Chain A
């Protein structure tokens, strides 16, 4: 009895001693379950036959492929326009910089349906920018261009933030030394700044691509057809119910998971000059 009491006391004292870690593990585990269980259940416990059928269904293939390449184009545009802005934020001080930095992140927090309406308000064919593009044969309603700008709008802040932080980590004196050694600002950027920041910029681009690919709210306001995968999931759910929506949703989750693992690997891949 005395021994048992002693053992029990040891256990209690250990739990009490490590109560901080213990409690945090329990809380952390709960949120992990909350995130992972629905995703895993959908991927691993959904009807495999239905998934294969979905994979062979031309409408699904088109929707997934459209999501992939529209997001890719949005990412390419985001890269060309966003990386220079990220560099400016990282290197220069100018009036209103903090406000601009904050505003850039706004698309992340506004409801994406509202973002879609805001875009429609500018790029719609009744408005000046939309009219301007229409002259070149580009329309943003019910078109690939509409999908791309919706994806670009909601996901480019991810790339800009990632690029900005990675440029900030590049010691500015490396750039200064390069200049004194005869490098122009262009040469300094392409030989020093970018090679030292590319890893995080690529990770940010992948995240932007994945986020753009999964965008629903802004896309559906601008473009219902052609149908992207998230819109198809919604359409199938509304029209045929859960069973028809799950396979497409599972495919999108798998693609997102692959991208996410890729990003993590890229970021953890130890740089040989760390």
Chain B
């Protein structure tokens, strides 16, 4: 298990603040956050490339806080792979073994193992500048894995790849995780990537962990406006929650009352995911849920999906597939009916 307790770090005017994380062995842990949120800095700190100001880092109970990077046995892969340009692919991969003074027989055995695992035998004599983006990622993974690290750190490994290659590399990393059972800490700014790959997720912003948990927990129960926006629950409102006599809780904003399953009361914020709002251009058949009448004020074409902006008030962003949108023949100014399931109204106070 990798544990971070109260880790603080100041570097070039940027600070990591009170980072507490627990990553179980075999986890595929995703650290997700926007640009300049401190993701890479945290990764490099775990790798031993920066000294913490305070706090502790452990691997399997071993305190590695003051241990030099080269003694931590942690593999690292950067977004642009950072392959050594003056070395061949073979020399890149075996670098860690050569540095550790392994015997040629061991080097060859380990090289063969990792090359077979990643199916990159045909690349061995090439130089990094002759590789495609996907090939570079595989070589960088092979280089990091050949020394059998206790933890693999991936810094936006899919970020610089085209969509097709990204999918291939994503599958490759997933396969490696399952076959090797290695603990992975993967950093990304893409929440979709986080949900797809991660067994556990932590959202980081402005140098601190905002929320950590299972992907579903974070997706359905963001604990703050920051996490809500970041997880694409774009309808976030300030308002107040009230419990009524029948024990139902309502979130009230601009005189509109959204029923919720949350138990918070008083001043708070609510987040509603666009995909959870049911939009209809015909008067809804009574299904036991309340509905709201609004007017379309905007239509944003996003390719395969369409965002419909509806003013109740408040103004809500809804989501339709292109097919549904074309069948409904919606236009700006048209009256529509929205149903917001109580389970989709998340409340938080931060």
- Enumerate chain A interface residues (CB-CB to B < 8 A): 93, 171, 173-174, 176-184, 187, 191-192, 195-196, 272-274
Q: Which of A93, A173, A184 contacts B78 (CB 8 A)?
A: A173
B60 shortest CB reach to chain A, Å: 18
Contact across chains for B84 and A180 when beta carbons are under 8 A apart: no
- Given A180-B76, A195-B86, CB of A187 within 8 Å of CB of B69: no
Contact across chains for A187 and B76 when beta carbons are under 8 A apart: no
Chain B contacts for A179, CB-based, 8 A: 47-49, 68-70
A contact face: mostly helix, strand, loop, or mixed: helix
The CA of A6 and the CA of B177, in the complex, are separated in Å by 76
Contact across chains for A187 and B127 when beta carbons are under 8 A apart: no
Contact across chains for B86 and A173 when beta carbons are under 8 A apart: no
Stretch of B94-102, B200-208, B210-218 lying at the A interface: B94-102
Q: Which of A176, A181, A182 has the most CB of B within 10 A?
A: A181
Q: Which of A176, A182, A196, A272 contacts B99 (CB 8 A)?
A: A182
B222 shortest CB reach to chain A, Å: 32
Chain B positions 44 through 79: 1 when the CB is less than 8 Å from some CB of chain A, otherwise 0: 100111000000000000000000111110111010
B89 shortest CB reach to chain A, Å: 12
Does B274 count as interface, using CB distance less than 8 angstroms?
no
A171 shortest CB reach to chain B, Å: 6
- Given A273-B129, A274-B129, CB of A177 within 8 Å of CB of B82: yes
Contact across chains for B74 and A180 when beta carbons are under 8 A apart: yes
- Given A195-B86, A273-B86, A274-B129, CB of A182 within 8 Å of CB of B76: no
Contact across chains for B128 and A93 when beta carbons are under 8 A apart: no
Residues of B within 8 Å of A, CB-based: how many?
30
Contact across chains for A181 and B127 when beta carbons are under 8 A apart: no
- Given A182-B100, A272-B127, A273-B129, CB of A176 within 8 Å of CB of B47: yes
Q: Which of A182, A187, A274 contacts B147 (CB 8 A)?
A: A182
Contact across chains for A177 and B70 when beta carbons are under 8 A apart: no
Chain A contacts for B48, CB-based, 8 A: 179-180
The CA of A191 and the CA of B84, in the complex, are separated in Å by 10
- Given A180-B72, A273-B127, CB of A187 within 8 Å of CB of B99: yes
Q: Which of A173, A183, A184 has the most CB of B within 10 A?
A: A173
Chain A contacts for B69, CB-based, 8 A: 176, 179-180
Chain B contacts for A177, CB-based, 8 A: 76, 78, 82, 84, 143
- Enumerate chain B interface residues (CB-CB to A < 8 A): 12, 44, 47-49, 68-72, 74-76, 78, 80, 82, 84-86, 95-96, 99-100, 127-129, 143-144, 147, 153
Contact across chains for B99 and A183 when beta carbons are under 8 A apart: yes
The CA of A189 and the CA of B301, in the complex, are separated in Å by 52
Chain B contacts for A171, CB-based, 8 A: 82
Contact across chains for A181 and B49 when beta carbons are under 8 A apart: no
Q: Which of B70, B85, B147, B153 contacts A273 (CB 8 A)?
A: B85
Contact across chains for A196 and B74 when beta carbons are under 8 A apart: no
Supply 5 A–B pairs (Cβ within 8 Å), ascending by A: A176-B47, A177-B82, A179-B68, A180-B144, A182-B100
Residue of B nearest to A180 (CB): B76
Contact across chains for B96 and A182 when beta carbons are under 8 A apart: yes
- Given A176-B47, A182-B147, A184-B70, CB of A273 within 8 Å of CB of B128: yes
The CA of A195 and the CA of B84, in the complex, are separated in Å by 10
Residue of B nearest to A177 (CB): B82
Contact across chains for B85 and A181 when beta carbons are under 8 A apart: no
The CA of A138 and the CA of B84, in the complex, are separated in Å by 45
Known contacts A173-B78, A273-B128; 9 further A-B pairs (Cβ under 8 A): A174-B84, A176-B47, A177-B76, A178-B99, A180-B153, A181-B143, A182-B71, A182-B96, A184-B68
The CA of A176 and the CA of B78, in the complex, are separated in Å by 10
The CA of A174 and the CA of B47, in the complex, are separated in Å by 14
A179 shortest CB reach to chain B, Å: 4
Chain A contacts for B72, CB-based, 8 A: 180
Chain A contacts for B49, CB-based, 8 A: 176, 179-180
Chain A contacts for B96, CB-based, 8 A: 181-182
Chain A contacts for B82, CB-based, 8 A: 171, 173-174, 176-177
The CA of A274 and the CA of B130, in the complex, are separated in Å by 10
Residue of A nearest to B40 (CB): A173
Q: Which of A176, A182, A273, A274 has the most CB of B within 10 A?
A: A182
Contact across chains for B129 and A93 when beta carbons are under 8 A apart: no
Chain A contacts for B78, CB-based, 8 A: 173, 177
The CA of A176 and the CA of B127, in the complex, are separated in Å by 20
The CA of A265 and the CA of B95, in the complex, are separated in Å by 31
